[in-house]
Amino acid sequence: MVHTEPSSINTIIVVTNSWHMLRTKAIFKSVFNLESTTSQDHTKWVTIEYVEVAPGIDDANVLLARERKEKAALEHFLKKTVKEYGNSVQSLHRWLFSKHNAYSTHRLVSSEKLEISAEENSLLLKSY
């Protein structure tokens, strides 16, 4: 909404690979259902289309590891993350830049991580 509202964007096309699509949809649905500082209901004026592309991973073991990691990340998102960032754009913004492992320094001192074996981690590294 930080970008869609000021730009009057009413259609978003999200392109991602097959192993990431379920979590991507869950995240977009959650974010676009948050309360905004404006009184606009995003679900009524923003259309989101999802385009799934091939996984881009040739090694079946690497793909399987990536799919397992995504499943665990989706479960974590649905059970914990959504509750952590609350129900408004402001609370999401605050959470994103203070707690999210990719966007904050919190990850540097946090011991909370998805439990991934060294072997699984080795396979996952090949998927980037």
H or E segment and range at residue 48: strand 47-53
**Euclidean distance between CA atoms 45 and 128, whole angstroms:** 35
Higher pLDDT, 7 or 50: 50
Asked if pLDDT for residue 64 goes beyond 70, the answer is yes
Site of tokens 């909404």: 1
pTM reported for the whole predicted model:
0.71
**pLDDT tens per residue, range 34-47:** 876 555 555 567 88
Task: Calculate the average pLDDT of the chain.
Answer: 81
Per-residue confidence at 49, pLDDT binned at 50, 70, 90?
Answer: very high
* Mean pLDDT, residues 93-114 taken together: 67
Asked if pLDDT for residue 108 goes beyond 60, the answer is no
Strand segments, DSSP code E, in the chain are 11-17, 47-53
Residue 50's pLDDT is: 96
Per-residue confidence at 16, pLDDT binned at 50, 70, 90?
Answer: very high
Site of tokens 């990691």: 69
Which one, of 66, 64, 12, lies nearest residue 43 by Cα?
12
Whether the Cβ atoms of residue 110 and residue 101 lie closer than 8 Å to each other: yes
* Mean pLDDT, residues 11-29 taken together: 93
* Mean pLDDT, residues 56-77 taken together: 92
